Amino acid sequence: MRLNPLDGILYLLVKVIKVFDKRDTDLKYFDPEKVKNILIVSSTAIGDTLLSTPAIRAIRERYPDTKIIAHFNIKNMELFENNPHIDGIIPYYGGYKRFFKTVREFRRNRFDVALILHGNEPQATPMAYLSGANFVVKLPNTSKYGFLLSNTTSHLQLPTSEFVHGIEQRLKVAALIGCSNKDKRMVLPVDRDDEDAVSGFLKSEGIKDDDILIGFQVGASTVSRMWFAERFVELGKRLITAYPTTKIVITGSPDEKKYCEQIDREIGGRVIVSAGKLPLRQIPALVKRFKVLLTGDTGIMHIAIAVGTSVAALYAVADYRITGPYYDTEKHRVIQKWKTCDPCMSKKCEYQECMENISVNEVFKAVTDIIGKKV
């Protein structure tokens, strides 16, 4: 791993500042009645941020009159601008980009407490501490920046593997400042304007009101989470044969457009490629129209679950018990295989051998279980 010299400088900086910090920052001094401004950090990928939304709702319900500012990734924050439980967003630009500018913006808000639900390190914890918030909480709290946190007692030092699901991990963070964790549902409102725009797009692509739309998310953040193009092609042909009113919508980022178009050509008809044709903010409205979304462990999988669309989710490197469907489980299908390489290369994987264990037959069965009787 290539080391960034800024990491060491930042560590020494916050270490020195902490030595001279005379504030009572331990969580035992936390008084909910004095909280006026809250910073919520969830600055990573789309799915990670969606997993944070139940905790954000819990924080809003506990602190209804408090100003809540979110620190979201600039690449996907447009998806969350209409979240009813936050009052504003301060962007995360990635790594050390605009690091001190962001810290200055934090400090202008005079936060009383910062909750790190999911953030990139080594930036997330130091930035939350440098925000000036008296209290900074995070779970797990065992990293080298744990000395900056307000929750320092040993019984909170839990490895991530002990969390049943990512939603639970974030709710546990919110619980540290007195928030209830009853509602596990993710929050992703879909605006009417976006629904109308998607309806217009689908109509322009020849989609009829009675067509069955099946989504194929063929890409992923890493090769290790991708099923194979030729298997998407074979599955697409079988579904089109089995369901005459089926149309397949291949989703993806603008960078994945050529890959999506290749799969479209090989299926040979009744396929629409949406990659690069719709802005990110309209993707929830598009996915809401699907009967089912076939996907690996991706951000769009979490979008589908959030808007109520069934998913057929393919897992191998990841563990569905941590990131998979967590509610309405009867409407989803998960195919879980396990890692075949030791050690697993994960993000550095160049060939996803473990995904070979997921056959077209079992995916076809999962998708048709959701669609129901052939028509």
Every domain of the chain with CATH number 3.40.50.2000 lies at 5-175, 192-371
Count of beta carbons in the 10 Å neighbourhood of residue 237: 17
Q: Alpha-carbon distance 113 to 86, whole Å?
A: 15
CATH of domain 192-371: 3.40.50.2000
Token pair, residue 167, equals 């939603």
Q: Alpha-carbon distance 57 to 70, whole Å?
A: 12
CATH 3.40.50.2000: does it fit domain 5-175? yes
Question: What pLDDT is stored for residue 351 in this prediction?
Answer: 84
Query: How many distinct helices (H) and strands (E) make up the chain?
Result: 12, 11
Question: What pLDDT is stored for residue 156 in this prediction?
Answer: 45
Closest CA to 368 of 298, 263, 291: 291
Token pair, residue 296, equals 């690996």
Question: What pLDDT is stored for residue 153 in this prediction?
Answer: 76
Q: Alpha-carbon distance 336 to 334, whole Å?
A: 6
The dihedral region occupied by 308, where left means phi > 0, alpha psi between -120 and 50, and beta the remainder, is left
Question: What pLDDT is stored for residue 2 in this prediction?
Answer: 59
Question: What pLDDT is stored for residue 326 in this prediction?
Answer: 97
Whether the Cβ atoms of residue 258 and residue 291 lie closer than 8 Å to each other: no
Residue type, 271: V
Task: State yes or no: cis peptide before 126, omega within 30 of 0.
Answer: no
Closest CA to 280 of 79, 138, 69, 146: 79
Q: Alpha-carbon distance 62 to 174, whole Å?
A: 10
Closest CA to 223 of 47, 359, 351: 351
Whether the Cβ atoms of residue 250 and residue 272 lie closer than 8 Å to each other: yes
Token pair, residue 229, equals 């193009």
Closest CA to 72 of 24, 29, 120: 120
Question: What pLDDT is stored for residue 162 in this prediction?
Answer: 56
- pLDDT above 70 covers what percent of the chain? 96
The stretches in the chain having pLDDT less than 70 are: 1-3, 154-163, 373-375
Residue type, 148: L
Exposure on the CB side of residue 155, measured as CA atoms within 13 A:
2
Residue 88, strand partner residues = 69
Question: What pLDDT is stored for residue 163 in this prediction?
Answer: 55
Question: What pLDDT is stored for residue 173 in this prediction?
Answer: 96
Q: For the segment 7-64, what is each residue's pLDDT rounded down to a tens digit?
A: 999 999 999 999 999 999 999 999 999 999 999 999 999 999 999 999 999 999 999 9
